[in-house]
């Protein structure tokens, strides 16, 4: 039965961010950003395990040391072939279902993870996400990103994906050129170019223009300001945060000029 399959969250993390180096260990209200993400993900009730997937590069030694010190499972793999890193982490964890979370999302909502997993299981798809890159519409704030796939689908992508962006961004091979058919206002299902059944989760109303991730110094300033308003709590929901942002119109403008990276943008060091 699907309900008995082992479900593991893999947190993608590294110190070598091009826009904000070392960001995953930068302080947010007294704790490193990684701790904020880990604490939130651990509250998701439908997860059976969680592991941080970082690189073997020496720059990530402090990150691995932090995980060891705080009893956080950590797997180290390729710096640029992140798909291979994920596949190895999922294999080690004996995962049947893989949930991809990035460590620059310190306000990820565990309830949203659980809801996405329930929809994934009910739909019996190969891949599900609450956002897809353009031309598909994003309706959840940037920073609440959740991607879910079966280990079988991940393994096929690992074997077949050949383009650098497909390896670095982990799951594009699963959802590229998907022809989505709207089933309800909040769920779209379709088949991708490579034959995977894909579910996109949408929210009504549309909040896709909000930016709650940490990729730049301006993003970090915004997230720190949010945590200050919550007095250091990290158990607030995304809807509580939405209410805070809507009632404090000065907050979103702290990082409203930051642009998101393109799906096809890759770290050129991996091609050198």
* pLDDT of 167 above 50: yes
Query: Does any domain span residue 126?
Result: yes
What mean pLDDT is predicted for residues 153-176? 96
pLDDT in tens, 1-52: 445 899 999 999 999 888 899 999 999 999 999 999 999 999 999 999 999 9
Q: In the prediction, which pLDDT does 2 show?
A: 46
Q: In the prediction, which pLDDT does 272 show?
A: 34
Query: Does any domain span residue 52?
Result: yes
Q: What is the mean pLDDT of the chain?
A: 92
Count the residues in the chain.
Answer: 272
Widest pairwise Cα distance in the chain: 49
**In whole angstroms, what is the distance from residue 180 CA to residue 201 CA?**
11
**In whole angstroms, what is the distance from residue 75 CA to residue 92 CA?**
9
**In whole angstroms, what is the distance from residue 240 CA to residue 55 CA?**
34
Dihedrals φ, ψ of 113, to 5°?
A: -60, -45
Query: Does any domain span residue 20?
Result: yes
Distance linking the first and last C-alpha atoms of the chain: 45
pLDDT in tens, 206-245: 999 999 999 999 999 999 999 999 997 889 999 999 999 9
Q: In the prediction, which pLDDT does 1 show?
A: 42
**In whole angstroms, what is the distance from residue 224 CA to residue 115 CA?**
27
CATH number at residue 183: 3.90.550.10
Domain residues for 127?
2-205
Cα dist. 194→100, 121, 267 in Å? 20, 21, 25
Q: How many separate domains does the chain show?
A: 1
pTM: 0.92
* pLDDT of 191 above 50: yes
Among positive and negative, which fits the CA dihedral 81, 7, 115, 235?
Answer: negative
Decide the pairing of beta strands 147-150 and 97-102. antiparallel
* pLDDT of 263 above 70: no
DSSP 26-91: SEETTEEHHHHHHHHHHT-TT-SEEEEEEESSGGGHHHHHHHHHTT--EEEE-SS-HHHHHHHHHH
- Name the more confident of 98 and 264: 98
* Helices and strands of the chain, counted as H and E runs: 9, 11
Nearest 5°: the CA angle 75, 130, 257 is: 90
Dihedrals φ, ψ of 160, to 5°?
A: -105, -30
């Amino acid at each position: 039965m699907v309900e008995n399959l082992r479900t593991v969250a893999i947190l993608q993390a590294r110190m070598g961010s091009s826009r904000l180096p070392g960001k995953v260990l930068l302080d947010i209200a007294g704790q490193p950003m990684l701790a904020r993400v880990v604490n939130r993900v651990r509250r998701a009730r439908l997860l059976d395990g969680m592991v941080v997937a970082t690189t073997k590069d020496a720059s990530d030694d402090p990150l691995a040391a932090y995980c060891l010190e705080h009893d956080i499972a950590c797997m180290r793999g390729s710096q640029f072939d992140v798909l291979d890193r994920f596949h190895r982490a999922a294999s080690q964890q004996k995962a049947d279902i893989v949930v991809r979370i990035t460590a620059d999302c310190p306000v990820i909502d565990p309830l949203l993870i659980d809801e996405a997993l329930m929809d994934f299981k009910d739909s019996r798809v190969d891949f599900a996400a609450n956002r897809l890159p353009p031309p598909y519409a994003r309706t959840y704030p940037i920073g609440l990103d959740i991607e879910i796939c079966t280990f079988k689908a991940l393994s096929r992508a690992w074997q077949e994906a050949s383009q650098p962006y497909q390896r670095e961004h982990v799951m594009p091979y699963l959802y590229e050129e998907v022809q989505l058919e709207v089933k309800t206002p909040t769920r779209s299902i379709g088949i991708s170019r490579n034959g995977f059944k894909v579910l996109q989760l949408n929210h009504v109303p549309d909040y896709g223009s909000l930016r709650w991730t940490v990729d730049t110094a301006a993003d970090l300033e915004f997230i720190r300001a949010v945590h200050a308003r919550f007095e250091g709590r990290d158990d607030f929901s995304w809807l509580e945060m939405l209410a805070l942002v809507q009632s404090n119109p000065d907050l979103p403008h702290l990082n409203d000029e930051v642009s998101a990276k393109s799906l096809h943008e890759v770290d050129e060091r991996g091609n050198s």
